Chains A and B, each alone.
Chain A
């Protein structure tokens, strides 16, 4: 129920498919909705509708306003996979809780992702990157960049930080893919979540007995956290540390191989951080929106959002807002431009839930992309660009494989 005028066009079906012609762009239906106005309507799987917030200022407003809840246990929180509500609500991570519980749990791990802590990790990340490139290139002239570089690098790094044995990666990567894939059956998702929580719970139990210098040991040692809560936080960090950076690395590489003139900026240490911000803005891998539900009536860009109504905040369209990123000459935003000042992007979200691991993601992307193009100046796609595969089955945009040669 709303008193707002009926929207001009029918609600946008969520999630909508990517364009085969511009696979690096947000789905065309989202860009069209953004062109209609900053607040429109979305249709969720199952037929429910909610508000779709697409403008930069409005997305920021929603994500930084405590009147919008992220609590997974709220029945009106709009989910693109509504069948999984109970599974997620049975084991909520702090990503899907509100303050004060969110802040209490998040602050237990913020110390491990401080900018200075991540800066100190840079030599170690550099070594992991160089070793991965040594292995990938030894005696060969082609490889799948996802399997041999984009996934192993962030996987090794988050395993080291968390204290999860990298040898177990096939096990937990298979399970986390089941969790993230929209194609998985509900029963399989429930089983995968349980198996991952048991795995991390067992690991935490062992670390409680014999602590090491890692996040899981520190979580396990806390007396204000149940073993189950420790496992949940470990699971959130393990998944968030894997898929996001891995997909950004693969998409960034594929995008830049089609725009070789821009690659030089990655070799300039002064230009590298800005280049990575522009890649984050342009690719914004969380394409399908962050869910919130209004706890009170809120007016947003002239639209009244009633208490109890759901909202999806689209980071991907907010990051294409020409008023913010177009510069004085309003340069077109459908093209990546590594010289653009993209620091205001929302690829890591906004508000109190903004990505905790962003300093780590930045360090990994900067080090990995610079090393990849420095070590392999002849890097090229090993298949025609039209044959590249993009993930259609997950809520995070990405590539299942990226065949390259050098």
Chain B
């Protein structure tokens, strides 16, 4: 799974950090979203989908990887 954050769209609601503090952070300088990881384990995918869905500014997007998804389903 690929995860992208768009800092221009971030409104610093803190939703992502509240639900997944091990994956997301807020930049000390400007309060905008940062990723704490660059690769993600399959057991984190549900959390990442939730974070993308609940981000009020639409700043978090996930791109499902077909191969990983197949692996997760098996």
A residues contacting B by CB (< 8 A) are: 63-64, 103, 106-107, 110-111, 113-116, 343-344, 348-356, 358-359, 362
B residues contacting A by CB (< 8 A) are: 11-15, 17-19, 21, 25-26, 28, 30-31, 50, 53-54, 56-58
* Chain B: CB-nearest residue to A350: B56
A344 touches B13 (CB 8 A): no
The dominant DSSP class at the B interface is loop
A contact residues around B21 at 8 Å (CB):
115
B contact residues around A350 at 8 Å (CB):
56
B contact residues around A352 at 8 Å (CB):
11, 56-57
> How far apart sit A343 and B26, CA to CA, in the bound complex (Å)?
20
* Chain A: CB-nearest residue to B56: A354
> How far apart sit A111 and B12, CA to CA, in the bound complex (Å)?
8
Interface contacts beyond A115-B18, A358-B13: sample of 16 additional A-B pairs, CB < 8 Å, sorted by A? A63-B56, A64-B58, A107-B30, A110-B12, A110-B31, A114-B12, A115-B21, A349-B56, A350-B56, A351-B57, A352-B56, A352-B57, A353-B11, A354-B57, A355-B13, A358-B15
> How far apart sit A356 and B19, CA to CA, in the bound complex (Å)?
16
* Chain B: CB-nearest residue to A103: B11
> How far apart sit A137 and B33, CA to CA, in the bound complex (Å)?
43
B contact residues around A344 at 8 Å (CB):
53-54
A contact residues around B26 at 8 Å (CB):
114-116
In-complex Cβ contact of B13 among A63, A107, A116, A356 (8 A) = A356
Inter-chain residue pair count (beta carbon < 8 A): 60
> What are the 10 tightest A-B residue pairs by CB atom distance, in nearest-first order?
A110-B12, A354-B56, A110-B31, A115-B17, A115-B14, A352-B11, A114-B26, A354-B13, A359-B14, A111-B31
A113 touches B56 (CB 8 A): no
User: Would you list 18 pairs from A and B whose C-beta atoms are within 8 A, ordered by A residue?
Assistant: A63-B56, A64-B57, A103-B11, A106-B11, A113-B12, A114-B12, A114-B17, A115-B21, A115-B26, A116-B17, A343-B19, A348-B13, A351-B56, A353-B11, A355-B13, A358-B15, A359-B14, A362-B18
> How far apart sit A111 and B30, CA to CA, in the bound complex (Å)?
7
A contact residues around B11 at 8 Å (CB):
103, 106, 110, 352-354
B contact residues around A110 at 8 Å (CB):
11-12, 31
A contact residues around B17 at 8 Å (CB):
114-116
> How far apart sit A62 and B30, CA to CA, in the bound complex (Å)?
27
B contact residues around A111 at 8 Å (CB):
30-31
A contact residues around B56 at 8 Å (CB):
63-64, 349-352, 354
> How far apart sit A358 and B18, CA to CA, in the bound complex (Å)?
10
A129 to chain B, nearest CB (A): 20
B61 to chain A, nearest CB (A): 13
Q: Output the residue of A106, A344, A359 with the most chain B CB within 10 A.
A: A359
